[in-house]
Amino acid sequence: MKIKNNKGFTIVELLIVSGILALLSAIALPKFFYMIERSKEGATKANISAIISAIRIYYSDNSIKWPDDITDPSFKKYLEEIPAVKVTHFFGGYRLSGTCNTVEIVKDNPGKGKGHAYGIDKIKENTDGWRYDHETGDVWVNNAQTDTRGINYTLYGHEWKESNCLTGRIEFITTLPNAGWIINLRFKMYDLRFKIYDVRFMI
């Protein structure tokens, strides 16, 4: 009768396999977590779009007036529940909860942006939830850190203002004798706001 010699793995072989698995994990896990975070960034953009849409419907229904507080029960007619900021910023800096839907109401004019969304220069990097300006109807992610693509969170919901704004030039020409007056007017219009940024008079 022959006895089989069932030889197991040696310690060296186990160490090699463990090292390979650890290397694969070190490469794959960060990519996996970044993919999850990017899906949360997309969800946050969708949530802020839902809030902005509800605010605009309120504005249309209430004699061109922005809501004073979007967390007030009267606003539930337009949005049953304020959705959460889903991003977590797990890759460094201040970590957001991913579940916060609190709203900070702007008490003063936030000023013009410094590298963030237009109208923002007071949003900090250690806050969470949303920020709302009842004078303009604007809402932002209440955190000034950048996402996995390097885009500032405050720009979420505001990218379209530059990418989809109406631009153009209007030219007025007079027919005065011996003189031609030309006025070049360049403009941008977005979010029902008209901004003239270049006026030239030519004789």
Three-point CA angle 190, 195, 199, nearest 5°:
140
Beta-sheet pairing, 103-105 with 193-202: unpaired
Say if 7 falls within a structural domain. Answer: no
Say if 1 falls within a structural domain. Answer: no
- By residue range, what is the domain housing residue 194? 166-202
Whether 126 and 171 share a structural domain: no
Whether 183 and 113 share a structural domain: no
Whether 143 and 183 share a structural domain: no
Neighbouring C-beta atoms of residue 143, cutoff 10 Å: 26
Whether 73 and 55 share a structural domain: yes
Tens digits of pLDDT across the chain (203 residues): 555 556 667 887 788 888 888 887 777 777 888 999 999 999 999 999 999 999 999 999 998 899 999 999 999 999 999 999 999 999 989 999 999 999 998 865 444 444 444 445 568 899 999 999 888 899 999 999 999 999 999 899 887 554 444 444 444 444 444 444 444 444 444 444 444 434 444 44
Whether 103 and 141 share a structural domain: yes
Are 55 and 72 a contacting pair, CB within 8 Å? no
Are 133 and 103 a contacting pair, CB within 8 Å? no
Whether 19 and 117 share a structural domain: yes
Q: Which amino acid is at 66?
A: W
Whether 112 and 146 share a structural domain: yes
Among 87, 10, 101, 97, residue whose Cα is nearest residue 50: 101
Q: How far apart are CA 40 and CA 124, in angstroms?
A: 20
Whether 171 and 123 share a structural domain: no
Whether 88 and 185 share a structural domain: no
Say if 6 falls within a structural domain. Answer: no
Q: How far apart are CA 118 and CA 155, in angstroms?
A: 8
Say if 2 falls within a structural domain. Answer: no
Q: Which amino acid is at 198?
A: D
Whether 175 and 82 share a structural domain: no
Whether 96 and 187 share a structural domain: no
Whether 177 and 77 share a structural domain: no
Q: How many domains does the chain have?
A: 2
